[in-house]
């Protein structure tokens, strides 16, 4: 059953770096209230947090300098739902291969990812993918995308590209290697709202 937008709930979008505005537009097109999260006060007002695409090394650095890593970590460990795309997938994963040595991730979804594994920026590509639970293919953009190289047994795979999972979920955390926020199809955002 579709529950639709969760009345009274606010979806936070981490707004330190990257494509956060596109996520806000996608949620707002579904009637879901959103808030840009930059500090602890913002974080206290949200029921879920979205980690956008961008650059995970920069995001990790900014989370440290803004002293937001630990507050977010503690909300995530309490079970706050989270949705990560591309760099956001990297930020939520257990372990990051080919990252910077000082790069940190939250480890709330049991996957290991390899950064930029699908090639450099010039090799970015788009394709139609089949997603579990969607009636028709989803047009997905991959931009210097991370590749899932290990997937724990508690993780559900919702879409694959060749042999690699590209949309996965565990408990209240969902991550995509691609960018569902680019374009007009908000069905994957709607799937996340179903998890709230």
In the sheet that 147-151 helps form, which strands lie side by side, from edge to edge? 93-97, 109-114, 147-151
Instruction: Note whether 98 and 120 are within 8 A (CB).
Output: no
Cβ neighbours of residue 24 under 8 Å, at least 6 residues apart? 13, 34, 36
| 189 makes contact with ligand GLN (CB under 6 A) | no
User: Is 163 designated active site?
Assistant: no
The 8 Å CB, 24+ separation contacts for 123-127 are 127/161
| SS3 of residue 26 by DSSP | helix
| 54 makes contact with ligand GLN (CB under 6 A) | yes
| 180 makes contact with ligand GLN (CB under 6 A) | no
User: Is 23 designated active site?
Assistant: no
| 86 makes contact with ligand GLN (CB under 6 A) | yes
Q: Which is nearer to ligand GLN, 32 or 56 (CB)?
A: 56
Site string (114-143) toward ligand GLN, x via CB under 6 A? -xx--------------------------x
Q: Give the binding range for ligand GLN (CB under 6 A) out of 28-36, 47-55, 63-71, 153-161.
A: 47-55
- Catalytic positions: 86, 179, 181
């Amino acid at each position: 059953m579709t529950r639709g937008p969760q009345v009274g709930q606010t979806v936070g979008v981490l707004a330190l770096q990257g494509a956060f505005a596109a996520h806000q537009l996608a949620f707002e097109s579904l009637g879901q209230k959103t808030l840009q999260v930059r500090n602890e006060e913002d974080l206290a007002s949200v029921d879920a947090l979205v980690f956008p695409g961008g650059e995970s090394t920069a995001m990790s650095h900014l989370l440290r300098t803004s002293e937001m890593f630990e507050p977010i970590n503690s909300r995530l460990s309490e079970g706050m739902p989270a949705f990560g795309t591309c760099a956001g997938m990297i930020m939520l994963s257990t372990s990051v291969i080919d990252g910077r040595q000082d790069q940190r991730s939250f480890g709330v979804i049991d996957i290991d990812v390899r950064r930029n594994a699908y090639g450099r920026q010039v090799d970015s590509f788009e394709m139609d993918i089949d997603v579990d639970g969607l009636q028709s293919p989803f047009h997905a953009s991959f931009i210097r995308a991370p590749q899932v190289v290990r997937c724990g047994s508690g993780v559900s795979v919702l879409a694959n590209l060749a042999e690699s999972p590209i949309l996965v979920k565990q408990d209240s955390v969902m991550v995509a290697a691609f960018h569902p926020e680019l374009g007009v199809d908000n069905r994957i955002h709607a799937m996340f709202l179903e998890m709230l």
